[in-house]
Structure 1
């Protein structure tokens, strides 16, 4: 068993960069990746999104996958980010330690299904597209990522809406601490699709301009796509290599308040944050920065903000939402934002909350508006809150 769990590798791809260095460069330049949709034909193409500006074929080349095996856009984004994380962790022999993969997604291969569904329904053509349709299942992407990494000891797929990849990281840490695995590649991946765009549009929570988290005039979120993975390692597995950060706290709660809306009192978020700090034995005053879930919707920002004030009182630490850069990447957001949280620790950074102008009337705090450099970052709290009240918080510590 391992008492401690370290992050030794990072991998990410999103609208602001095809890897971690380019993502960090965009964050430092305050450069958002949210813009015009290019890769999907839809009546909602006028809505701004955080899209990876590569075609699916270009992603296949970048991922280096076999041409004869079907891969959805979700698979490819995950493979690219997971490979980067493993390389960043300087892992050359995946079998040296008992290694698992826990990958999260909310839509799986939906984008591929949409492209082939009409032909699949045509009996004269359906056989030609059967393998493509099979890639729809969420666990398919986990299998393809595992194949690309050579991981066989343990595979798991998490799908708890927008808290999915944070829960993947949480589960990975628990498996390591209980001695079941020595190393876990954990995170998540999701691609844009008509299904998600139409679904969120039906909920009337998509902003027709750039999202404004924690702004009194916020009108909704911008959807995004991408993948983010971290390599978690035990004390033994991480010996002799750079430990980028330590995962010292985590909690998942569910207030089951509503199918899609967060509770107005922020009960689930309050419990997740409180239990995370309790597990880590860290006082609220010790938290250096909060990477908020911060979607920009009316209900979510109020619920999360209320929960934060319940925990931190009048002394809320610097807080921002990085979804203003990437868009809301759904099941991938916790993985991508875990990468950003570790980057904040390693580089002494607090990222800005772009597009903000008017403080929320219900909250006393306002988000951090400037890029803060050379900060002493000891603990970063990262929140991910999903549909159905499934809420997760992670706490990363400087090593």
Structure 2
């Protein structure tokens, strides 16, 4: 059994940048990615802000070296996964036992929506070949094939904790000597299906979201993709550069309180964070930064905050929600925020919680409001909490 699992490479694309360097620059410059809807044909244009990746499918296809007629979710996945693998630069990669564990929640819904607009108007119209990758697993297979990975592949879909669970699972595969290298994370694109669904739940903010603010009004949907390259201790020793850090703790807990809401007392959130700490052998006082799930909804922020108060009080580490930059990228959020957590350790940064103004009445703490640099960050906790009470916390630790 491998004693430690290391992060050898990172890749990300989101509303604030098309690669790691651009995302990091936006985080430092406090540049958010929200704006008017431009990619989708929807009645909510100019009414509901979203955080879109600023590239068309044709432009993404060039970066991904894939056909433009496949789903946007697949294209986003390929761009970030390839960047992560290139960044890792693993010697003799093809001789190792490799895996691709990828998460998403919408699959190729965007292409299906386009098909049904034409088909419902005239059932002789619409091309079925354009929606061959509708289901969530098809994009995992396509990207794995493109990356040259055939030993192991699987898809995780547990709502907004999906890609955190993919990273969790990939780590276990390495620790139990099933694989040597795993590219793990997730992807999701904006679709009318998700926009309409979240709007029906009445949890979308008509302005830019304000996570953990007393006057928060909801979330902004986003899209993107984020992956880590996880390697065993043996592989880590062969790398030309030192790994970014290691994944020291992880845990999943499900409170099963409600299909689309967290338990008011944050039961799932509490046990996810507590379990990750136990796995890592760390104490609450060892955590230097929490990347909050922090969606900006009344229920989510209250539940997560209550759990943090119960577990960490009275000594609270700095914390913030980077969804104030990227919007809520659903199945991709855990992967994107894992990359941001790794970058926080490497670059000694704590990101601000953009647009925060007023502390929540029920909490004795508030998120960081300004970029903090030159921080001695050894341990970062990243929270990803999904529908159905599926809650996962990851802890990244400096080497």
TM-score, with structure 2 as normaliser: 0.97
Residue matched to 1:35: 35
Residue matched to 1:398: 398
- For the residue of structure 1 that corresponds to 2:187, the secondary structure is strand
Once the two structures are overlaid, the 10-residue window that deviates more, 89-98 or 56-65, is 89-98
The structure 1 segments of at least 4 consecutive aligned residues displaced by more than 2 Å after TM superposition are 91-94, 118-126
Post-superposition offset of 1:134: 2.0
Instruction: State how far apart, in whole Å, the 2-side matches of 1:125 and 1:331 are.
Output: 31
- For the residue of structure 2 that corresponds to 1:157, the secondary structure is strand
Instruction: State how far apart, in whole Å, the 1-side matches of 2:117 and 2:25 are.
Output: 41
- For the residue of structure 2 that corresponds to 1:295, the secondary structure is coil
Residue matched to 2:62: 61
Residue matched to 2:78: 79
Once the two structures are overlaid, the 10-residue window that deviates more, 6-15 or 35-44, is 35-44
Q: Does the CA contact (< 8 Å) of 1:120 and 1:130 recur in 2?
A: no
| Cα distance, 1:91–1:65 mapped onto 2, change above 3 Å | farther
Residue matched to 2:139: 141
Alignment of 1:115-154 (within 5 A): 115-120=114-119, 122-126=122-126, 129-154=127-152
Residue matched to 1:269: 269
Q: Does the CA contact (< 8 Å) of 1:94 and 1:149 recur in 2?
A: no
- For the residue of structure 2 that corresponds to 1:6, the secondary structure is strand
Instruction: State how far apart, in whole Å, the 2-side matches of 1:285 and 1:317 are.
Output: 8
Task: For residues 360-399 of structure 1, give each alpha carbon's deviation from its aligned partner in whole angstroms, at most 9, with x where no partner exists.
Answer: 0000000011100000001000000000000000000001
Post-superposition offset of 1:92: 5.9
- Say how many residue pairs are matched: 395
Q: Does the CA contact (< 8 Å) of 2:70 and 2:131 recur in 1?
A: no
Residue matched to 1:331: 331
- For the residue of structure 2 that corresponds to 1:71, the secondary structure is coil
- For the residue of structure 1 that corresponds to 2:234, the secondary structure is coil
Residue 232 of structure 2 is aligned to residue 231 of structure 1: no
What is the aligned counterpart of 1:167 among 150, 165, 168?
165
Unaligned runs of 5+ in 1: none
Alignment of 1:1-399 (within 5 A): 1-45=1-45, 46-66=47-67, 70-91=69-90, 93-120=92-119, 122-126=122-126, 129-241=127-239, 242-399=242-399
Instruction: State how far apart, in whole Å, the 1-side matches of 2:84 and 2:312 are.
Output: 33
Q: Does the CA contact (< 8 Å) of 1:351 and 1:368 recur in 2?
A: yes
Once the two structures are overlaid, the 10-residue window that deviates more, 331-340 or 144-153, is 144-153
TM-score, with structure 1 as normaliser: 0.97
Root mean square deviation, CA, Å: 1.1
Unaligned runs of 5+ in 2: none
Instruction: State how far apart, in whole Å, the 2-side matches of 1:240 and 1:368 are.
Output: 38
